[in-house]
Structure 1
C-alpha cells in the first residue's frame, strides 16, 4: 500500500569507473506539481581541460538499462545502453537529456526542473556522466565522449 504522505522520490548513487575512481555522488528525483525536480551533488570530477578531446563540462544523461557493469576500460559502462529516449525525439530534446555538469574543484551541484517524465518512469534506469561536454546536436548521443561514472535509479521509499 502506498503512503500518500510520502513524496515520490528516487535516488541514484553515482560512482566512477576505474579511470575516475574518486567520482561519487547522488542524484535525487522528486515528483512535484507539473513535473520533476532533479537535485545533483557529484564530487571527484576531473577538472576542465581545454583541447581535443576537451574534458568537462560533463555530459549527463539518463540511460536505458539498470546495469552499471563497467566492462572495458576503453569504453566503460556500455551495459547501461543508449540514452533513454521513450518518445524517440532527436538528441538535445529527449527526456534523457540533462544539462551538463560543471566541475568546480571537482565538485558539481545542480538542480533543475523537467516535465519530460515522472519519477515512476525512470526507476531502474541508469545515470551516466560523460568525460566531455554534450553538444546537444550530434545524433544520437551528443558526442559527449567516454562514460566515466554510473548509478542506478532506485525508489527511496
Structure 2
C-alpha cells in the first residue's frame, strides 16, 4: 500500500472513531425523569441589600442534575462565611431583598444541603471570603434547570446572606439578613 493511501486510510479511520465517540456533553444531559436545561447559561449581577456594600458577578451553567454557579463576590468581611441561595422570585426591589421571596423549592422538600439528602432546589454550599473580603464562588444547585419547566431558575434571584447556612434549621438554615441580591438572566 502506498504511503499516501495509508495516510488517507488512517485519517478516515480517525474521523470515524471520533464520530463514534462523540456524545452530548454530560453538563447538559439530564438524568432519567429530570427536565433538561434548554438555555446555555445565565448571568447574575449582585447588588447590595440591607445597607451592605456587597456586590458581585456570577455565571450559571447547566451540569448533570442541576447548575453550577461561579464568579466573585466582594465587599464581604475578611474570612467570613455566607449562605448563598436561589430564591423563588426575581425581584430584588426591597431594601432588604425580602421581595425575592423564600428559597426556590419546586419539589417541596425540607431545607438542607445540596447532595446530602432532602434540600430545596435553591440550596447551595456556603461561600467563604478571602483575606481581601472576596469570595470566589464555585457551587452547585441540584434539581434545577435553566430555560423551562417547573424547575427553571431563569428569572429568579440569587441572594447572599449575612451568616452561614447551618443546613438544618427550617426553613432557611438560620442564614440571617439578605446582604446582596441579583436576578438570574438567561443568555440569548
Tell me if both proteins adopt one fold, taking TM over 0.5 as the criterion: yes
Secondary structure of the corresponding residue to residue 127 of structure 2: coil
Distance 1:20 1:131 in 2: 9
| Aligned-pair Cα RMSD in Å | 1.9
Q: How does 1:60-79 map to 2 (within 5 A)?
A: 60-71=84-95, 76-79=96-99
**Post-superposition offset of 1:40:** 2.6
TM-score (norm 2): 0.69
4+ runs deviating over 6 angstroms: none
Higher RCO structure, 1 or 2 (CA under 8 Å, sep 6+): 1
Report the structure number with the largest CA radius of gyration.
2
Q: Any unmatched runs of 5+ in structure 2?
A: 1-38, 113-118
Choose from 102, 105, 108 the match for 1:82.
Answer: 102
Q: 1:35 to 1:18 in 2, by over 3 A?
A: closer
User: What 5-or-longer segments of structure 1 have no aligned partner?
Assistant: 1-6, 49-55
Count of matched residue positions in the alignment of Structure 1 and Structure 2: 140
Secondary structure of residue in 1 paired with 2:82: coil
Q: Which structure dedicates a bigger proportion of its chain to helix? A: 2
Taking the TM superposition and a 5 Å limit, the aligned residue runs for 1:37-116 are 37-48=68-79, 56-71=80-95, 76-92=96-112, 93-104=119-130, 105-116=132-143
